[in-house]
């Protein structure tokens, strides 16, 4: 049984074609399809019209004054063999990030407990690996099980997964797996050469097959065009099941990485990207991730109005600075926002 709903607002906004809004008995199947041109047309809307549309979609699916809070901990830092142009953890780049061993279980649990006390509902663990070997994965499985037992949702980002590894993570109690697409397929090779776009899609497929929620988004401001930003969102929105969590990162430039010195993205363009993500993925959590440290609180407020409803608490996001919990609490109080 299929009910097709055509949004007349699309006609008013002058889109070249109308995305079909379909309600289906099987909620796991995505029947919406967005072309890159349609998403690019969203970016071209007058700012107030775009924000109004995004806020309307947001209110139809979420409490507009509630934000989900996560904390991200780097459990294994530096020494990565990849060549991601934005990442200071790549061994080939000369940055201040040093190669560190996997953290001890008790230290991870202490950080998780602090995150919980600060209001986080999800605890994310990141390791700088191309992909975990089994000897790497075994201690992480223990961390996941112990953090889950504390009453927190669990998330991990460990690189590419081999067959069977996602199932092990699921059995340990993993709720979310983060694996970003980073950018549009046609721009990807300008940023990363050591793994392909298909490698990323294959890992996401293994995660979905293991019945783990997907956290996947991208990085904005790496020198991509507006059309390529639209292309990234099209990749995410057109998945059979769009990611449950969509982190939108603003490039944090780090000396020693190839992307250091890239022209900075206009803040309003970042807000437009948040709004387009909300419209094209109405039931996903859209997260303000890396780059918040450089954003004025007014821009962050606009992002919440545009449909962002998830953030990271904590002093660092893996290796880059992030607003402290106390700063975020003050901003939440000003805006009347409460944690989920």
Annotated catalytic residues are: 80, 84, 87, 124, 155, 215, 287
For residues 116-146, one letter each, b for 16 or more C-beta atoms within 10 angstroms of the residue's C-beta and e for the rest, the string is: bebbbbbbbbbbbbebbeeeebebbbebbeb
Q: Are 69 and 311 in contact (CB under 8 A)?
A: yes
Residue 145 to residue 85: CA distance in whole angstroms: 33
Residue 245 to residue 258: CA distance in whole angstroms: 28
Q: How far is CA 48 from CA 45, 51, 53, 330, in A?
A: 8, 5, 9, 26
DSSP type of residue 295 = S
Residue 211 to residue 205: CA distance in whole angstroms: 10
Q: Are 219 and 178 in contact (CB under 8 A)?
A: no
3-state secondary structure (DSSP) of residue 293: helix
Residue 81 to residue 200: CA distance in whole angstroms: 16
Residue 154 to residue 115: CA distance in whole angstroms: 12
75: alpha, beta or left? (left if phi > 0; alpha if psi -120 to 50): alpha
């Amino acid at each position: 049984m299929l009910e097709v709903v055509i949004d007349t607002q699309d006609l008013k906004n002058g889109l070249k074609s109308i995305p079909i809004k379909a309600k289906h008995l099987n909620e796991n199947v995505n029947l919406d399809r967005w072309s890159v041109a349609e998403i690019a047309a969203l970016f071209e809307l007058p700012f107030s019209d775009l924000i109004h549309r995004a806020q309307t979609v947001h209110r139809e699916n979420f409490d507009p004054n509630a934000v989900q809070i996560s904390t991200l901990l780097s459990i294994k830092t530096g020494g990565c063999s990849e060549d991601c142009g934005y990442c200071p953890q790549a061994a080939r780049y000369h940055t201040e990030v040093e190669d560190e061993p996997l953290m001890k279980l008790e230290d991870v649990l202490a950080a998780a407990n602090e995150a919980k006390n600060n209001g986080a509902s999800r605890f994310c663990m990141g390791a700088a690996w191309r992909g975990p070997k089994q000897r790497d994965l075994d201690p992480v499985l223990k961390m996941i099980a112990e953090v889950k037992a504390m009453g927190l949702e669990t998330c991990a980002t460990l690189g590419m997964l081999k067959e069977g590894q996602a199932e092990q993570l699921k059995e340990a109690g993993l709720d979310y797996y983060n694996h970003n697409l980073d950018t549009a397929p046609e721009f990807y090779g300008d940023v990363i050469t050591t793994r392909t776009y298909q490698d990323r899609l294959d890992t996401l497929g293994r995660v979905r097959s293991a019945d783990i929620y997907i956290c996947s988004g991208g990085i904005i401001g790496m020198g991509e065009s507006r059309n390529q930003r639209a292309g990234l969102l099209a990749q995410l929105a057109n998945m059979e099941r769009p990611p449950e969590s969509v982190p939108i990162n603003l490039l944090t430039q780090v000396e020693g990485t190839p992307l250091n010195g890239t022209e900075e993205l206009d803040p309003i363009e970042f807000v437009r990207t948040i709004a387009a993500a909300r419209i094209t993925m109405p039931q996903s959590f859209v997260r303000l991730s890396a780059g918040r440290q450089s954003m004025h609180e007014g821009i962050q407020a606009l992002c919440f109005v545009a449909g962002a409803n998830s953030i990271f608490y904590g002093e660092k996001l893996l290796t880059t600075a992030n607003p402290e919990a106390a700063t975020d609490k003050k901003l939440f109080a000003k805006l009347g926002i409460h944690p989920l």
